[in-house]
Amino acid sequence: MRIGILGAGQLGRMLALAGYPLANRFVFLDPTGNPSAGIGDIIIDPDQQHLDEFLAKVDLVSYEFEHLSVDLVRTIEAQKPVYPSSEAIRICQNRAEEKALFTRLNIPTPQYRLVDSAAALEAAARELGCPVVAKSITEGYDGKGQAVLRDPAEAAEAWASINHPQLIVEAFVDFVREVSIIAVRGRDGQIVFYPMAENQHVDGILRYSIAPLPDLDAGVQATAETYIRALLDELDYVGVLTLELFQVRDGQLLANEMAPRVHNSGHWTMDGAVTSQFENHLRAIQGLPLGDTAARAPTCMINLIGREGDNTAILAIADAHLHRYDKTERAGRKLGHINLLAASHEELLDKVGACAALLPEAPSPRFSFE
Ligand code: AMP
């Protein structure tokens, strides 16, 4: 099977690494002009001049990032199977559409308003009560295009700094922790779920994910599964879907956003689960049986952001698995990750602390169950 991937970053790279054992071949269509996958056949195409060449080389198409032109994906869909569908992209690239879908499917979210001027932003901040988070409706990721307002009077400044025609303004959630659930739906509608992960973000960028969680109520996992199942079935979705949630004090979950693809908070599955999210995505889109999602052991994923650490020392840690993306160092850039496995969560937290000390810019790891 020749698989075409829209986008050519590290997620595409890891999809390919998971697909070679299945005898898949990969062709990437890179719309950015800056591919980093470093694997497979990469067609650099910022001006959409090489679509026919790409389509001639592939049997089916998937993608590794959602900020794509929906028209482009629809054009491709008319010629080759695309999983997940262009409808999933259309919704996931627009925070207003996403929130509306959550609400329609009875998935709770933070309170929010849509605004299209600085004055409307100020009014929404007053109505919801500060602090609020203002986010651009489209194009935002990793905390970009966002501002926290501590006072409605900061609206003009926030509006100017985000510089986008429409924003979503959300009540600031006083969460106990951020979590995510990843699920996979096959072409036949079968769904499997990974254990939920706890995610630590700093400045909007994921730094640590840990799964499974030692203190997660089975009811909370079941609730998250109900939410993501509703989304998968509604979208007749095929492949991996990620739902990021806030867990609040009473255990309730509020949906933050979803991603129609393999996700950074699922990188722990590469070493920590029986079947990785990447392999399961490839199985799903090819109509193959889905693999076991069970965790092998308590696992923590540590992102390498901006600068790499002492890789020799990291590799000397027992059951540490280094995944480098072969990128050059740059502030804020995702360069790789480390998966640490241990027999218990206590041992895992010790390992995480030791490993973080080998990374020049790692924030101190903090988990809700420590
Ligand atoms: P997002 O791009 O929506 O995932 O936001 C990036 C990060 O900002 C999240 O992972 C949270 O840490 C924080 N954040 C976003 N929205 C809210 C909110 N409504 N309340 C509290 N924190 C938030």
Q: Are residues 326 and 351 in the same domain?
A: yes
pLDDT at residue 11 in the model: 98
pLDDT at residue 36 in the model: 96
Q: Are residues 38 and 55 in the same domain?
A: yes
pLDDT at residue 139 in the model: 83
Q: How far is the CA of 206 from the centre of ligand 1 (A)?
A: 11
Q: Does residue 314 lie within any of the structural domains?
A: yes
Q: Does residue 323 lie within any of the structural domains?
A: yes
The residue to which tokens 């392999």 are assigned: 279
Q: Domains in the chain: how many in total?
A: 3
Residue nearest to atom 7 of ligand 1 (CA): 204
DSSP assignment of 310-362 equals -HHHHHTSTTEEEEE------TT-EEEEEEEE-SSHHHHHHHHHHHHTTSTTP
170 lines ligand 1 (CB under 6 A): yes
The residue to which tokens 């255990």 are assigned: 251
pLDDT at residue 142 in the model: 67
User: Which of ligand 1's atoms lies nearest the C-alpha of 140?
Assistant: 2
| 53 three-class SS | helix
Q: Are residues 138 and 185 in the same domain?
A: no
Ranges of the chain with pLDDT below 50: none
Q: Are residues 74 and 46 in the same domain?
A: yes
CATH number at residue 299: 3.30.470.20
Q: How far is the CA of 18 from the centre of ligand 1 (A)?
A: 30
Residue nearest to atom 19 of ligand 1 (CA): 172
Q: How far is the CA of 4 from the centre of ligand 1 (A)?
A: 32
Residue nearest to atom 1 of ligand 1 (CA): 143
Q: Are residues 63 and 151 in the same domain?
A: no
Q: Are residues 180 and 265 in the same domain?
A: yes
pLDDT at residue 361 in the model: 86
pLDDT at residue 144 in the model: 78
Q: How far is the CA of 142 from the centre of ligand 1 (A)?
A: 9
pLDDT at residue 94 in the model: 95
Which of 64, 82, 100 corresponds to the end of one domain? 82
Which of 33, 66, 82 corresponds to the end of one domain? 82
CATH number at residue 143: 3.30.1490.20
pLDDT tens for 37-90 read 999 999 999 999 999 999 999 999 999 999 899 999 999 999 999 999 999 999
Q: What count of other Cβ atoms lies within 10 Å of the Cβ of residue 124? A: 24
Q: How far is the CA of 276 from the centre of ligand 1 (A)?
A: 26
CATH number at residue 65: 3.40.50.20
pLDDT at residue 219 in the model: 96
Give the domain extent around 223.
175-356
Q: Are residues 163 and 192 in the same domain?
A: no
